[in-house]
Amino acid sequence: EVPALKTHFAGKFRIGMAADPSGYQDPIAQPLILKHANSITAENAFKPASLATAPGVYNWATADALVAFATANNLVVRGHTLVWHQQTPDWFFNGTAADIRARLEAYITDVVTHFKGKLTCWDVVNECTSDDGSAVYRNSRWYQTLGPQYIEIALRAARAADPNVKLFINDYSTEDPAKFARLMTLVSELQARGVPLDGIGHQLHVSTGTPTPANVDNALRGVAAKGLINHVTELDVSLYDDPGSCFASKAGCLADLTGDPVALAAALKKQALQYRALFNVFLQHPSLQSVTTWGIADNHTWLTGFPINRGNRPLLFDAAGAAKPAARAITDDAYVP
Ligand code: G3I
């Protein structure tokens, strides 16, 4: 047993968890989100592929059900996500640049208006920074059709539809100093143009061996220096310290270790120390207002299928719902994993 995380970290940051209906309705996971979290993110239900069945035609049911669950249980909702290069129907990109822009603006207006007053924030644009040093902006379909202005278009449309909801850019690998510098260049360009932006979401899909606390500290400090709010939006700590080649081509991905009790115990210990190191950095940043794990318990995690199919246990609670060494490590300084 560990104390309720939302109580333990009260006054510092909110504790969130991401879930699909199969997650927040799961008999193992639901008691955990109710005990520990005061924020929830839909793992998929707020994405364009889930909401927009055709231009101007919406299916709100799954997303509205999540909002109802949150409201009934005193959870705030992070909206995730309006503009992404994945989980977005192909019809968005039909026609001329003017058609695409109009469709993007209409989509954002409709969706932000539908949820007006019900969400604390939106990840307006997701994963827009280039992964390599040859460019600042990701060469996504949005970038290819509308140029870098698609980000400004999206942020302005969101602000116009709901002046109170906080607007975020959300990205992964902000803990990589080079990628983070590109994201900050992008943010500076937006700020110079007076584009509305309230915060940066750091996904923090990390592993037991990387990043260092200093890398995370660097990212949180850089965002605060721009006058923006920090959120940690998708935290999980993979058991595998895969080489870069694994992500590029699945070559060299580490083999499943979950059948080896000795190796697994060692990895869970390393994971606990990594979670503790990360939370110790989080606690030093008043600009950090929310920390969300990408899932509730190890019985459901996207990392089971990424980058390869194998067992992974990246969250704070195990598949049976019990607190893992990681959960103890972040709530009890004296605990030795
Ligand atoms: O809904 C369909 C279902 O009808 C179908 O039978 C089934 C068969 O594959 O697929 C279902 O859709 C899946 C969807 O999750 C809902 O379960 C998609 O195939 C699958 O690709 C999708 O994966 C999601 C992924 O984003 C998409 O890229 C993961 O659940 C979700 O955890 C993941 O989340 C992302 C964040 O949004 C952004 N940051 C990275 C993070 C991890 O990839």
- CATH number of the domain enclosing 214: 3.20.20.80
d(CA 273, CA 262): 17
Strand partners, 238: 207
Does residue 247's CB lie within 6 angstroms of at least one atom of ligand 1?
no
Give the Å distance between the CA of 218 and the centre of ligand 1.
Answer: 30
d(CA 196, CA 151): 10
Ligand 1 atom closest to the CA of 172, numbered from 1? 39
Asked, for residue 14, whether it belongs to a domain, the answer is yes
Ligand 1 atom closest to the CA of 306, numbered from 1? 43
Question: What amino acid occupies position 176?
Answer: D
pLDDT in tens, 31-70: 999 999 999 999 999 999 999 999 999 999 999 999 999 9
Q: Which residues contact 210 (CB under 8 A, 6 or more apart)?
A: 175, 241
Does residue 203's CB lie within 6 angstroms of at least one atom of ligand 1?
yes
Asked, for residue 122, whether it belongs to a domain, the answer is yes
Question: What amino acid occupies position 45?
Answer: A
Asked, for residue 246, whether it belongs to a domain, the answer is yes
Asked, for residue 337, whether it belongs to a domain, the answer is no
pLDDT at position 83: 98
Asked, for residue 26, whether it belongs to a domain, the answer is yes
Does residue 302's CB lie within 6 angstroms of at least one atom of ligand 1?
yes
Closest CA to 200 of 288, 73, 325: 288
d(CA 63, CA 83): 16
Does residue 58's CB lie within 6 angstroms of at least one atom of ligand 1?
no
Q: Is 27 exposed, middle or buried (0-12, 13-18, 19+ CB in 10 A)?
A: exposed
d(CA 225, CA 173): 19
pLDDT at position 40: 99
Q: 81 vs 36, 85, 324, 331, CA distance in Å?
A: 24, 11, 30, 30
Dihedral over Cα of 212, 203, 291, 304: its sign: negative
Total domain count for the chain? 1
By annotation, the residues acting in catalysis are 234
Give the Å distance between the CA of 202 and the centre of ligand 1.
Answer: 19
Asked, for residue 313, whether it belongs to a domain, the answer is yes
Does residue 234's CB lie within 6 angstroms of at least one atom of ligand 1?
yes
- Residue 162's domain comprises 5-331
Residues 105 and 148: beta-carbon distance below 8 Å:
no
Closest CA to 87 of 20, 15, 24: 20
Predicted ipTM?
A: 0.94
Residues 16, 265, 270, 301, Cα dihedral to 10°: -30
Q: Which residues contact 120 (CB under 8 A, 6 or more apart)?
A: 39, 76, 77, 78, 165, 166
pLDDT in tens, 212-270: 999 999 999 999 999 999 999 999 999 999 999 999 999 999 999 999 999 999 999 99
Regions of the chain where pLDDT drops below 70 = none
pTM comes to 0.97
pLDDT at position 173: 98
Give the Å distance between the CA of 71 and the centre of ligand 1.
Answer: 25
**Tokens linked to 49:** 């592929």
- CA 156 to chain CA centroid, nearest Å: 22
Asked, for residue 336, whether it belongs to a domain, the answer is no
